[in-house]
Chains A and B, each alone.
Chain A
Amino acid sequence: MNSDPTRGGIPERGAEPPSYLREGTTVRSWLTTTDHKRIGILYALAITFFFALGAVAAALIRAELVTPSGDFLTNDEYNQAFTLHGIVMVWFFLVPSIPATLGNFLLPMMIGAKDVAFPRLNLMSWYVFMAGGLLALFAILAGGVDTGWTFYTPFSTLYSNSHVLLAALGVFVVGFSSIATGVNFIATVHLLRARGMTWMRLPLFVWAMYTTSLVMVLATPVLAMSLLLVVAERAFGLPIFDPRSGGDPLLFQHLFWFYSHPAVYIMVLPAFGVVSEIITCEARRRIFGYQFMVYAMVVIAVIGFMVWGHHMFVSGQSAFASMVFSFLSFVIAVPSAIKVFNWTGTLYRGQIRFSAPMLYALGFIGLFTIGGLTGLFLASVPLDVHLTDTYFVVAHFHYIMVGGSVSAFFGGLHFWWPKITGRLYSERLAQFAAISMFFGFNFTFFPQFIMGTMGMPRRYHDYPPEFQPWHVMSSVGALVLGFGYLWPIFYLGWSLFRGERAPANPHGATGLEWQTRSPPPKDNFDRLLVVDQEPYLYHPKESTPDEVEQAHAKQKP
């Protein structure tokens, strides 16, 4: 079907070593592993736990909001629920989701390396992650936090009576695991590419990981710093944000968003990578405009650092600053739009199959487009004045981060599942999950655009009754969405034990990770790789997938 990019490789040894899963099966062997694939799995287990925790909080919130008045949560409990949801989902699920699991597993394989550049640092990052997670869990068990995931001062430093210090420290610590992963990926891509794997032959997933890592390494220290300042004022009374002692409460918002806007791209660039891999493979086509796709990601990563002020249009920052931030926010919309067009262009004249990963990827395009377009509303200063801090914003970032990133994560999980586990899942059941997630998602979050436009403020435990119909819709949608998330547990779990054994390359994909066994051996490849081709050679340049398909068919008896 496609020419073998490992052509010219030298066989290393005769006897096949066992797969990475068989290389030691004790708990100890897992907890002390430096194999990037196993660390990816350790991360996957950890973030699955946090995803479940965040989802429980979301369920509580949606249940509480079915009626306008408080039902079974007190004001404080409600505030803790959305704070928990935000903190856990952002830092303990979304930020590590694709990079630390799929990225860890795939990045070295995709560039033909045996492991990441610093395998022990990689393992350490997981322990740091767990330490941060434990601190955050401890904050929850001790009685919760009620600042919102944004930790706005001076509320968080002077007025909140909850466990802000523990939670802030948890997030502070987990930041170091991001930085470690980022440093590791950057070094890996620079140092460990196989012979012939030039920068412009890198799969887009690798580019996505690389740009994400740059953002992680540059932005996360700012988060660490701003959280330390919160700790300094709250625990030691150092006047930093308190205006009564000459501090500036807005300073925190500037620092926080200087990290948190780029963090949006930490969450969404990896999704771009996953979707590019899936769409090319399932449409059997080269990616449309490879170079533009690469530049778009680089531009997004850079300009992403210059738009943080769009979160502060009503905060009291100067009108001029708002105008500049508004302008840059419109500019950054362009490369994102380019990506959407290019994915669409990739479908043109393809041989599209609607496997579950492809359904997730197509869903991603739709939801990301809506999320991006509503971002334009919020980038316009006069409109943002009305819409910010309402459910419109809530809907907007869920479209990007849940509709976008989480869909892509699930798509990637399915796509590489055979490689990771060596088993096939039931395609039918998976397609059903992808479709219910898409509809459940829209059902949950589209009504939030409407009520947000009508003025429903976010983080409200009680609300005026005229918003109730929209809240009810949203909560019912959440049931469908919840099903879409739970259902894969069953068939994926089943496939682990009963699933059919996966061949090396079940999708007929071109990436190097598919040129080895499923599941791969500990050192990833049985022989040395030499790359002499661009990525995504689903069809030679001058022909179309159709011709390839036919030529292929003729060879078969």
Chain B
Amino acid sequence: MMPEASTLAPRIDHLFFALVGLSLVIVLLVGCLVAGFAVRYRRGSKAQRGQLPKWITRDVELGWTAATFFVAIFIFWFAASMQTSEFEIPNNAMEIHVVAKQWMWKLEHADGQREINTLHVPVGVPVRLVMTSQDAIHSFFVPAFRIKQDVLPGRYTETWFQATKPGTYHLFCAEYCGTDHSQMTGGIVVMPPAAFARWSEGAAAQGTLAAQGAVLFRQLGCSGCHGKSARVRAPSLAGLYGTRQPMAGGGFRQVDEEYLHDSIEQPQKDIVAGYTPVMPSYQGIASEGDIIRIIAYLKTLKAGGRQ
């Protein structure tokens, strides 16, 4: 009925059909009882209507309460165990940056290739999507992969998939976002690895995302403060990604994409302990696309070497 094109899809369908089976059993049970009683005990029928045994109400009641409760808990457990095992993103995943805006998808590969409303990916490779929106909330939905994740302005959300079958699959925006919401669609093109390698050779002319980020880092004046010879006292950004930074107000923040994004757009939000908050906000100056590039660049910097 529906193509299963990711490693996740068969597992979701497994749960789906298990629930369909259970529902059928319950619908049949209730349906047959209602229909059976309706016929047997229709007004004036000859059916025996002796007294109900005394025990029946209470015990039957407790019995089916307990039974439904256990069924409910069982399905919860079934679903929740899948949730924890399936939604963890593998470490070696290929990274794609997604910027949603009314009404298009901008997709960028780590090697700098950009696509609009179409995403090429190789079969059999885990792909991690790091997504943000420039305006309203959107939602990245690929039915064939059974994945969906809302894409929010001002923050990063993530999802991942590993395609299992070459082909072209629908990409929908699933969160209503205005006039052309239903045109905010596209395709995911899943290719065999060799074909994908050939396809990605074609681009790469502009340099990788990180290389473009390095240029922006200079152009936007970040290096003026964060650079080696800077006069302003600003923290070194080398090796920052993945560490835990002490904050001025106490406590720590994990340095992930979200944190880096906010440090650039809203530097006042979290201030690094021991520094004066002189960093200007780059909101409106650096686009979401620029920020993605800068983050890609910051992630390449190794600790020790100052930029």
Contacts and interface: CB of A to CB of B under 8 A. Distances in A.
Interface of A: 75-76, 79, 146-148, 150, 152, 154-155, 158-160, 243-244, 246, 249-250, 283-284, 288-289, 292, 314-316, 319, 322-323, 326-327, 330-331, 333-334, 337-338, 340-342, 344-345, 347-354, 362, 365-366, 369-370, 373-374, 376-377, 379-383, 385-386, 388-390, 450, 453-455, 457-464, 542-547
Q: Which of B61, B139, B157 has the most CB of A within 10 A?
A: B61
Given A347-B34, A382-B82, A289 B178 contact: no
B61 to A, nearest CB: 5
A393 to B, nearest CB: 10
Contacts of B180: 75
B137 A155 contact: yes
Nearest to A358: B38
Contact of A459 (B22, B146, B182, B185): B182
Nearest to B9: A386
10 contacts: A75-B180, A76-B179, A155-B136, A334-B72, A341-B64, A369-B27, A383-B19, A385-B12, A454-B1, A461-B182
Contact of A352 (B23, B38, B60, B173): B38
Contact of B176 (A155, A462, A543): A155
A159 to B, nearest CB: 5
Contacts of A243: 152-155
A461 B173 CA distance: 13
B31 A366 contact: yes
Interface string B59-85: 011001100110011011011101110
Interface in B101-144: 102, 135-137, 139, 141, 143-144
B68 A337 contact: yes
Nearest 9 Cβ contacts at the A-B interface: A243-B154, A455-B143, A380-B79, A546-B49, A347-B37, A155-B136, A460-B182, A389-B174, A330-B72
Given A338-B68, A455-B2, A382 B41 contact: no
A292 B61 contact: yes
Interface stretch (B50-58, B189-197, B213-221): B50-58
A462 B27 CA distance: 34
B170 A464 contact: yes
Contact of B152 (A249, A333, A347): A249
Contacts of A351: 41, 43-44, 49
Contact of B23 (A316, A374, A390, A547): A374
Given A75-B179, A344-B34, A352-B38, A330 B75 contact: yes
Contact of B178 (A160, A322, A386, A542): A160
Nearest to A79: B179
Contacts of B15: 380, 382-383
Given A365-B30, A369-B26, A385-B149, 19 more contacts: A154-B153, A158-B136, A244-B283, A288-B61, A292-B61, A314-B139, A319-B87, A326-B79, A330-B73, A352-B37, A362-B38, A376-B72, A380-B15, A380-B76, A382-B87, A386-B148, A453-B1, A453-B2, A460-B172
Contacts of B22: 373, 376
A376 to B, nearest CB: 6
Nearest to B169: A455
Given A350-B37, A459-B182, A545 B76 contact: no
B204 interface: no
Interface residues of B, number: 80
Contact of A382 (B60, B83, B283): B83
Q: In the complex, which of the residues B49, B60, B69 has the most CB atoms of chain A within 10 Å of its own CB atom?
A: B49
B266 interface: yes
B76 A326 contact: yes
B176 A159 contact: no
B225 interface: no
Given A148-B176, A386-B12, A370 B27 contact: yes
